[in-house]
Amino acid sequence: MSTTASAKNGTWRNWGGTVTARPAREVTPASVEELTAAVRRAAEDGLTVKAVGSGHSFTSIAATDGVLIRPQLLTGIRNIDRDAMTVTVESGTPLKRLNMALAREGLSLTNMGDIMEQTVSGATSTGTHGSGRESASIAAQIRGLELVLADGSVLTCSEKENPDVFAAARIGLGALGIVTAITFAVEPVFLLTAREEPMPFDEVTGRFDEFWAENEHFEFYWFPHTASTNTKRNNRSAGPERPVKPLAGWFDDEFVANGLWQVANMVGRAVPSTVPTIAQISTRAWSSRTYTDIPYKVFTSTRRVRFVEMEYAIPRAALVDTLRELKAMVDRSKFRISYPVEVRTAPADDITLSTASGRDSAYIAVHMFRGTPYQAYFTEAERIFTAHEGRPHWGKVNTRDAEYFAGVYPRFGEFTALRDRLDPDRRFQNDYLRRVLGS
């Protein structure tokens, strides 16, 4: 099964199946020069322009009825600077390809999200993140960007060059220009020891501050309709390397986590009353395991079962109260939720519209199996998240508008003013950006 978005008969669809678009034309540039020409031609024809990555956003952030830019020919590493410890990579490069190439060079990103199917530009432009006590989102590891602007010019930015653009464009939502290359900070490849362990909900919430303080990367999953969680602690290790054994890894991560999980969700979708029982059985299938490997093999996993997701960042101090409110809401509702709730953290960063901008953050992600009604559950969850000044992930389902974002992002006006300067004619506009940024 493909893990990317699809296009049939001129219609583009995202991975989750929540968004379709019929662009006037598609362009697959093989160089920055071809991309600038496509942007200039779109302006001549009065068309808007959007670049798409792998389609892993659940929102319509990349949808357009104008010119759709496909970046699959803009891939590969441009340069590795071992003195500065940076790597410059073309924007359409999948994270998987980047991670594997870096590992061959004895290098690694410091932190990453939990899948690596996205392109580097799509992942960073929407604020994709993992979990970390000190290490932040993928975008926070950016040291330089190259952008094609609305007038077809190419702009480079960093902390020293066009710093106002750099502050915003690291998570630019596709609103400021089309990213063509990204320079990331890297470090010598290292080992992580992962410790996965089931734990009661009340214990993990009661000891959350302790777990957060004691581990470089702490995250957990709570299964609705149960009082059980599965925790994961990732910490740097001196070794030796002890990867998951191939057969055990295939059984746990492919057969159980994808094959049986697909079947279980299909049963739950067909007969919703079975969902609580399936959840109880699923939690009993969890077992503890410990393994040591290079970062991308510990941080990321394969997700073949398709779902729809909403995720909000809240102040880290509000996590436990928010999560308990979510559990109480689910417990008293008639919802049948087959997918776990994922909890992660990130330190404050200095990116204008990062979900962790200026505040230590915790993330709560709610999911529903593709094809099941999710709106009512997400509406109730969103009501709880917004009561705690939540900031939705830019690539995941939300119903917020520019007025709301202006209230939860102190630097929101800084971003929209920059957008007015860089894209006054709204060449990169679409319905989603009109809602979240204003017109």
Q: What is the pLDDT of residues 333-345, one digit of tens each?
A: 999 999 999 999 9
pLDDT confidence bin for 267, thresholds 50/70/90: confident
In this prediction, residues 309-338 reach a mean pLDDT of 97
pLDDT score recorded for residue 6: 58
DSSP 363-430: EEEEEEETTS--HHHHHHHHHHHHHTT-EE-TTS-----HHHHHHH-TTHHHHHHHHHHH-TT-TT--
Rounded-to-10 torsion of CA 191, 206, 334, 373: -30
Would residue 249 be called left, alpha or beta, if left means φ above 0 and alpha means ψ between -120 and 50 degrees? alpha
| Chain mean position to CA 312 | 11
**Cβ neighbours of 329 (radius 10 Å):** 16
For residue 2, name the pLDDT band (cuts at 50, 70, 90): very low
Q: What is the mean pLDDT of residues 346-352?
A: 98
Question: How would DSSP label each residue in 261-314?
Answer: HHHHHHHHHH-GGGHHHHHHHHHHT---EEEEE-HHHHH-----S-EEEEEEEE
Q: What is the pTM of this model?
A: 0.94
Burial of 29 (0-12, 13-18, 19+ CB in 10 A): buried
Backbone φ and ψ of 144, nearest 5°: -165, 155
Q: Which two tokens stand for residue 336?
A: 């049948």
> How far apart are the C-alpha atoms of 378 and 393, rounded to whole Å?
14
Percent of the chain with pLDDT over 70: 95
pLDDT digits (tens, 9 = 90+) for 374-401: 999 999 999 999 999 999 999 999 999 9
3-state helix, strand, coil in the chain (%, to 5): 35, 25, 40
Residue in this structure with the two tokens 């939720």, named with its chain if needed: 337
Residues 180-212: pLDDT tens digits?
Answer: 999 999 999 999 999 999 999 999 999 999 999
How far is 149 from 423, CA to CA, in rounded Å? 7
Q: Give the SS3 label for residue 247.
A: helix
Output the pLDDT for position 119.
Answer: 97
Q: Evaluate if residue 8 carries a pLDDT over 70.
A: no
- Partner residues linked to 77 by β-bridges: 89
